[in-house]
Amino acid sequence: MLELKDFCFTIDKDGEPLNLIDRVNLKIPKGHFMAIVGPSGCGKTTLLNTIAGLNEMSEGYIYWDGRDLEQEGDLDPAELGYVPQFSIAYDELTVDESIEAVTKLRVKTHDIDDLDQRIDRVLEETGLAPIADRLVKVLSGGQKRRLGLAMELVTDPTLLLCDEVTSGLDPRSERDIVRRLHDLSRRDGRIVISVTHSLAHLELYDSILVLHEGRVAYHGPPAGLTHYFSVEDTEEIYPRLAKQDSNKWRKSWEKHVDIYYQKIEKNRLKLIESGKLSVPLVAAKKTPYDDQTATTPIEIEDEDWDDIDNSSSRLTSKRKNKNKKTDQSSDQPSNDIIKEASEHVRTPGAFSQFCTLLARRWKIFFRDRGQVFLQLAIMICFPLIVILFADQGNVNLRNFSDAGTDYSISGLKELNAIASNRAKVGGAVSGIIMFQMVLLALMGSNNAAREIAGERKIMEKEKFGGVSPSAYLLSKITFLVAIILVQSLIMGIAVESAWNFKGAISTSYVNHFTFLVMINAAMTFICLGISSMMKTAEKASLLSIYLVGFQLPLSGAVLALPHTVGEFTRPFISAYWAWAGSLDHLQTGYYDAVKDVTQTPIDPGSSTCITILAAQIILGLILTYIGIKRHQWEH
């Protein structure tokens, strides 16, 4: 049984506490299907999210089979299923692949046969077997809702929470989803709670919870709704609610709660006796408030709801009379209580989750033709843009010693020509190297700006289901490192094959390649950190573009910055350190030529440059982990 006692969720509004959920008291038995309804803004989703643990409960108690979930440990991720309003599957995967991936992430299966059986079972339960090979992006709204449901059923949750899963569906699809949820509640004592704005198909629910301004206005069988609210049709309930303060509705409900709960229990026992409800019972502990709320069952006939007295006086007198004839129940469970012996689903380890996440990421990448073409275009076009400046870089560098000591007019002309040559070559070498670094910074931004923010909702949902943030981070790092290496390698090969600055690079290609990788990695992981901290892909992309846009003007490679400004901005400009580190490996003549044409310091040393870039990479990874770890659930 799920029990809420004085359950509250409070926010701070204008310096004052505001209860969005205000002292909710509920008892929901196993094998029960409950709907949460109410006007917009009444707190339906907030209550569901607080039960799930997505919102932190402010006051009160929540019990599961008598266990205080706040004090004695929360439900295991496998025990709790949550189907949100949004799609939790990737468009590039098929239905079968989506369910397979989530099963590998959340269930430690014994072997491949166990995995296949679990997938096949949920496909059949949700009616998705005929479309198992269909891509998610072509599914209808109802099919996507069923897929979201299937992805939660892989762990056999004992508590299934559904948020507006019928929203926007046609009547037939809506009834199909409600019917499937109803059937799921009849198996293994599963509790299914569904938030819905619709008042259709209420007869399929065991009970209806009506919320008004965060307070309980009613919780009882669907058949009692119209009688309790004194309306002819359920569509009149919401206007009726608005005519009275929510606190008055709550006080009214507290007077009648017992008789409606007795009706719920009587209906439940009938279902068990008829074999329509399978409930594995457990010997639940008594909660601290059981003694205060325990009542002796009342005999309720199957008369019409109109025959039920609206006042609580008759109910009270009946209870008193019954109590005289009824012995106090024992604290110990009776012999007919059967202890549940089902084996709990185990969550896979972080390494197994990492492998699944990485394999899925590569599959999504290659299925997304637009992303593949964009990467290929960048990898090919950016190096070609740099190669366009090959002629300027392929000019022999002349030294002043070539002019000798002739100070005649012809000798002075020669010196002027040498100076012009050195300025041209020095500017070309500096510009080409910086151009590479800026283009690789742009690649890094493209790599990571949307990587996490673009799948924020899915990531949050998978974290909620037990996916390790470390496994998620490691899968992103591994994927992006592969992209970084390929991009940098292609850029380096293209540049080196087009020209070698006529011998300007004095050391091996490895040094050049090192700084290409470092600038790409620094910008990639800083943008990944930005992506993890932002709630939307648009904000992450915009901030990342700004960051790349400042690389060239603030590096000082083109125009030297004022000393005070440069000293402040330079540590944050990745392109500067990759540029200066690459210049450090130039032959002396070329290095001097570059130094002659720029007023920006270019001699921090390659080891210092690598250290700074490595620090930026680490900073980006730290920001990424913080962003992944931080709760950013969107309601």
Rounded to whole angstroms, the Cα distance separating 527 from 547 reads 9
Residue with tokens 């969005």: 20
Let me know whether 237 and 382 are in one domain: no
Going by their DSSP bridges, the two strands 159-163 and 191-195 should be labelled as: parallel
User: 0.85 cut: is pTM over it?
Assistant: no
pLDDT in tens, 497-537: 776 554 554 445 778 888 999 999 999 999 999 999 998 89
Asked which of 274-283, 403-412, 477-486, 609-618 is least confident by mean pLDDT, the reply is 403-412
- 3-state SS track over 188-254: CCCEEEEECCCCCCHHHCCEEEEEECCEEEEEECHHHHHHHHCCCCHHHHHHHHHCCCHHHHHHHHH
Domain extent at residue 108: 91-156
Residue with tokens 């390649």: 513
Could you tell me if residue 240 is inside a domain?
A: yes
pLDDT in tens, 178-199: 999 999 998 888 999 999 988 8
Residue 136: how many CB atoms within 10 A of its CB? 19
Let me know whether 107 and 222 are in one domain: no
Let me know whether 260 and 371 are in one domain: no
**Total number of domains in the chain:** 3
Strands in 215-220's sheet, in edge-to-edge order, are 80-83, 159-163, 191-195, 33-37, 207-212, 215-220
Could you tell me if residue 332 is inside a domain?
A: no
Could you tell me if residue 344 is inside a domain?
A: no
Could you tell me if residue 185 is inside a domain?
A: yes
511, 606 in Cβ contact below 8 A?
A: yes
Let me know whether 513 and 593 are in one domain: yes
Let me know whether 140 and 13 are in one domain: no
Let me know whether 291 and 237 are in one domain: yes
Q: 501 — alpha (psi -120 to 50), left (phi > 0) or beta?
A: left
Q: Which of 128, 156, 184 is the last residue of a domain?
A: 156
300, 263 in Cβ contact below 8 A?
A: yes
What local confidence, expressed as pLDDT, does residue 484 receive? 96
222 exposed, middle or buried (CB, 10 Å; 0-12, 13-18, 19+)? middle
Rounded to whole angstroms, the Cα distance separating 6 from 25 reads 6
State whether residue 108 is helix, strand or coil.
Answer: coil
Let me know whether 386 and 452 are in one domain: yes
Rounded to whole angstroms, the Cα distance separating 222 from 264 reads 10
Going by their DSSP bridges, the two strands 207-212 and 33-37 should be labelled as: parallel
Q: Which of 325, 349, 384 is the last residue of a domain?
A: 325
What local confidence, expressed as pLDDT, does residue 319 receive? 35
Rounded to whole angstroms, the Cα distance separating 189 from 197 reads 26
> On the CB side of 224, how many CA atoms lie within 13 Å of its CA?
27
Let me know whether 194 and 233 are in one domain: yes
- In 301-342, DSSP assigns E strands to none
Residue 489: how many CB atoms within 10 A of its CB? 14
For the residues 246-262, what does the mean pLDDT come to?
A: 90
Let me know whether 163 and 152 are in one domain: no
Rounded to whole angstroms, the Cα distance separating 338 from 361 reads 45
Could you tell me if residue 402 is inside a domain?
A: no
What local confidence, expressed as pLDDT, does residue 136 receive? 95
109 Cβ neighbours under 8 A, 6+ residues apart: 103, 115, 118
pLDDT in tens, 531-563: 999 988 999 999 998 898 888 777 766 666 676
Residue 297: how many CB atoms within 10 A of its CB? 12
Let me know whether 219 and 320 are in one domain: yes
Return the CATH number at 188. 3.40.50.300
Could you tell me if residue 339 is inside a domain?
A: no
Rounded to whole angstroms, the Cα distance separating 625 from 635 reads 22
Let me know whether 17 and 162 are in one domain: yes
Let me know whether 114 and 178 are in one domain: no
Model confidence at 334: pLDDT above 60: no
Nearest Cα residue to 165 out of 198, 191, 138: 198
Could you tell me if residue 194 is inside a domain?
A: yes
pLDDT in tens, 112-149: 999 999 999 999 999 999 999 999 999 998 899 999 99
Could you tell me if residue 342 is inside a domain?
A: no
221 exposed, middle or buried (CB, 10 Å; 0-12, 13-18, 19+)? buried
What local confidence, expressed as pLDDT, does residue 322 receive? 38
Nearest Cα residue to 315 out of 261, 270, 250, 265: 261
Rounded to whole angstroms, the Cα distance separating 185 from 153 reads 12
Q: Which of 156, 178, 207 is the last residue of a domain?
A: 156
What is the full DSSP assignment across 525-553?
A: HHHHHHHHH-SSHHHHHHHHHHHHHTHHH
